[in-house]
Each structure stands twice: as C-alpha cells, then as structure tokens.
A and B are shown apart, each in its own frame.
Chain A
Amino acid sequence: MNLQLFLLTAAALFSVGLFGALSQQSIVMLMMGLELMVNGVILAAVAFWHYQSPASADGQILVLIAFCVMAIEMAMGFAVQIALFRARDVDMTDMAGDLRG
C-alpha cells in the first residue's frame, strides 16, 4: 500500500468517469460520469495529503472544496435538466446541442 497504488486507483476512477461523461446520452448518466471523475480527484487529493505533506491540513481542505464542487455540479446539473425538460421535453444530450460550434 503506497502512494502509487492510491493514485492508480484514482486514475482508474477518473478514466471510467471520463468514459461515462463522454459516452452517455442521458444527461443524468453524464452527471454520474462527472461525479465519478470528482471521486477520483478526491481520492488522489487525500492520498497526496497523507503521503506527501501530512503536516498541514491543505490537502484535506482541497478535498472539502472538491465536495463543494460536487454539490454545485449536481445541483446545477439537475436544475439545467429540469429547465430543459420543462421548456423542450428534452432529456438527452444529443437533443440539446444548441451550442455545438
């Protein structure tokens, strides 16, 4: 059990989340991919704190900020989805491609 193993786990979680966020058509499933990515970031931050600079609490505070990001992402994602669904009866990413450049 060392830093590398924890970071590899975190990288695996992040990659799986990336796959989900890129491949899912349902907006809720896409958000689950994003959550999984933040999950990997949290694990990496905790591992870095424990194995690199345990003396200061900075790593832990970074994790709390990641929780904050997760909560905001979830709330805003659902709010946007509800707004989209109410206005246009859309629950798939492919039908909401207005900003495609």
Chain B
Amino acid sequence: MGSAIFFVLAPVAVLAGVLVFRVDSMVRATFLLLVSFLGVAGLAFLLNSGFVGGIMLLMMTGEMVIMVVFMIMFMMNPGGLMPMKMVHNQRFSACAAVLTFLGLAIVILTVRWPAPKGVAPADVTLSIGEGMMGSKMLVFLTAGVALLACMIAALALATHRGRYDRYGDDLDRKTPDDAARGGVGR
C-alpha cells in the first residue's frame, strides 16, 4: 500500500514541478507548485512524519494562495491568454539541472547507506516538541529572531516610498525620482 502511494505521489510531485515552468498561465503554475508541495507532504506522511506533513499541507496552501495574488499583481500575462516565453539562459540552465540530477543520482545509488540507528519513538510529534523546548531550544530562539528580523526588513522594504526616496537625502530634487512618469509638472 505504501509503495503504491509512493509511486503515485512521487511522479506527481516531480511532474507538477516540471509543469510549473512549462505552462503559460502564472496562476496555473502556482497551483501546480502547490500540487508538488502537497505530493511531498503526502510522502512525509508515508515516512511517519505526520507533524511535518500536516504543517506542510497548511503552510503551503496558504503560501501558494498568497503567491497567486502576487502573480496576478506582477505578471503582465496572469491568465496565460497569450503564449509567451519568459526565460533566459535556457540551455545552460537545463544542462546545470541535468548535471546536478545525474551527480546526485550517482551519489545516491553508489553510496552504501548504513543501517538505521534505533527505532522511531511511539509519538514522533512529542519528541519534536521535547527537542524544540529542550536540547534544540537555541536553534529555535535563533530562528525566531531571524523571523522577527525578516518581518521588520520586509516591512521596511515594502513600505511606501517616502519623501527622502523621491526628493533625495536633502529634499533638494526638483522633480521626484519616481519609476512611473506623470502627474503635475512632468
């Protein structure tokens, strides 16, 4: 049963990942990426990692829905009504990807992996919680500070451009330095 699920989910995850860069519609690309994430979440469930799989289901669904909004905001062709190519360095990228895969595959298939050490605890989620609140607490404190710094930096970057951005550090520019021209006096 587990193998059958694996042989459905793994190809689906990889194929959806490939299709992300093949379809014209950006919204479809985002939802295909979501399919890929959900496939990996299913594989995590197969690997006795229900907590990680569950987080992934919830987090990725939310993240991809937000991503769709950004896609529609930033892409000139969000619906994919006109076929278009937005790629550069395609040959180099394809070569790099294939070589990376071949290199990793050679390592994966030739290394003699050691036998597993120990058995999983009865409640994996409990052991994660004990790790987070015990021996790995410093890691999570650091991650928390990193997330806080990220929130502040993201707000600072994404906030509206102020007068110092538009009129220079001494506010002595005659016309504001805006990306889009227009408005009074221009």
Interface residues of A (CB under 8 A from B): 1, 3-9, 11-20, 22-29, 32-33, 35-36, 39, 42-43, 46-47, 49-58, 60-61, 63-65, 67-68, 70-72, 74-76, 78-83, 85-94
Contacts and interface: CB of A to CB of B under 8 A. Distances in A.
Most buried by A among B55, B96, B108: B108
Contacts of A53: 116-118
B65 interface: no
Interface residues of B, number: 83
A67 to B, nearest CB: 7
A80 B161 CA distance: 13
Q: Is the interface of B mostly helix, strand, loop or mixed?
A: helix
Given A23-B90, A61-B132, A68-B143, A16 B117 contact: no
29 contacts: A1-B6, A4-B113, A5-B10, A8-B105, A9-B14, A9-B43, A15-B100, A23-B90, A23-B94, A24-B87, A25-B88, A28-B67, A28-B71, A28-B75, A32-B67, A36-B33, A39-B13, A39-B37, A54-B116, A61-B131, A68-B146, A75-B150, A76-B153, A78-B70, A79-B154, A82-B157, A86-B179, A90-B179, A91-B75
A46 B52 contact: yes
Given A57-B130, A88-B179, A32 B33 contact: yes
